[in-house]
Amino acid sequence: MINLSRKKILVTGGAGFLGSHVVENLVAKRGVDSRNIVVPRLEDCDLRLEANCKRVLEGIHIVIHLAAKVGGIGFNRQFPGEIFFDNIMMGVPLMDLARRMGVEKFVGIGTICEYPKSPPVPFKEEDLWVGYPEETNAPYGLAKKMLLVQAQSYRAQYGFNAIHLLPVNLYGPRDNFDPKSSHVIPALIKKIGEAKREGKDHIEIWGTGNATREFLYVEDAAEGIVLATEQYDKADPVNLGSGMEISIKDAVRLISAFMSYEGKIMWNKAMPDGQPRRVLDTERAEKEFGFRARTRFEEGLKNAIRWYEEEVASA
């Protein structure tokens, strides 16, 4: 087990939604001095450029690579080329340089979008390669999947300690509520919140509402990532999830109830649902490093709504 309090840690994407919670976890729960956590900022450190990667890796013991270009279905359909290129170029050179510069461990954060469109449910890690990803997610999922291939290849040839984690859809405080790039939970919260403030008697949502998703509270995800950083040193990828499954239709009903919105929900069935079902088998994470999600979906959802209303809507 790695004592993180004695390490200098690079957290790419550390100023973002998930990254900020990972940094907080490292400081508050693992005793890492904040001065020993390096968080590159996009505006002055484009990680697609090798020179920037080399600069932020100086003196680093551990890399937690969270930085990603990612969004919801609409964003994925509009920018598939950028999503593929940027995620490949932020990850592959960074891992290669980390190996060459003597970094002790590289923690790669993948995505559930790496899975095939319709694998057996619940998704098991060994089924990652049984088919092609859902089309709207494929550029993102495959770019991230290449980091798994790279990690396994570098472990086999160089003995480099690189691991790969597969978190399910995240939600919680500090999420991205930009409608152009947000994921399903923040997008729904924002849409319902605005409809309520504007007195709209209905909202329109893409798809049929029948697709299902599993959601993991962001603080639980951060704990899982840090536990794996401390304890997991194997080539096999590991799911990080909560084990719950809910339809988009039921999630909308729940958010509407929590936000006291009584308008009609209209489903635009001409638009895509995305992957039909998403729910993970989480046994490997619990067996290998003792991770189990603790936050009930309803509790986490209320926290996310409260943060939106206090920090986003009020502004």
- Residues 225 and 164: their CA atoms lie apart, in Å, by 10
Is 291 annotated for ligand binding? no
Task: Report the distance separating Cα 160 and Cα 97, nearest Å.
Answer: 12
Show Cβ contacts of residue 27 under 8 Å, excluding neighbours closer than 6 positions. 33, 34, 37
Strand, helix or coil for residue 26: helix
Per the CB < 8 A criterion, the answer to whether 2 and 32 are in contact is: no
Report d(CA 138, CA 292) in Å as an integer. Answer: 28
Angle at 311 between CA 306 and CA 312, to 5 degrees: 100
As a 3-state breakdown, the chain gives helix, strand, coil percent values, each rounded to 5, of 45, 15, 40
- Contact 309/247 with Cβ under 8 angstroms? no
15 is in an annotated binding site: yes
Q: What SS3 class is residue 265? A: strand
What is residue 223's three-state secondary structure? helix
**167 has binding-site annotation:** yes
168 annotated ligand binder: yes
Query: Binding residue per annotation — 19?
Result: yes
206 annotated binding-site participant: yes
Is 102 within any annotated ligand binding site?
A: no
- DSSP 8-state assignment for residue 5: G
Let me know: does 161 contact 106? Beta carbons within 8 Å: yes
Is 308 one of the catalytic residues? no
Ligand-binding annotation for 14, yes or no, is yes
Question: Does 213 carry a binding-site annotation?
Answer: yes
Is 13 annotated in a binding site? The answer is yes
Catalytic residue among 115, 132, 140, 217: 140
CA dihedral 148, 102, 223, 225 (to 10 degrees): 0
**Residue 11 annotated in ligand binding:** no
Annotated binding residues: 13-19, 144, 167-170, 183, 191, 206, 213, 273
Annotated binding residues for NADP(+): 13-19, 144, 167-170, 183
Q: Which residues are annotated as catalytic? A: 140
Annotated binding residues for substrate: 191, 206, 213, 273
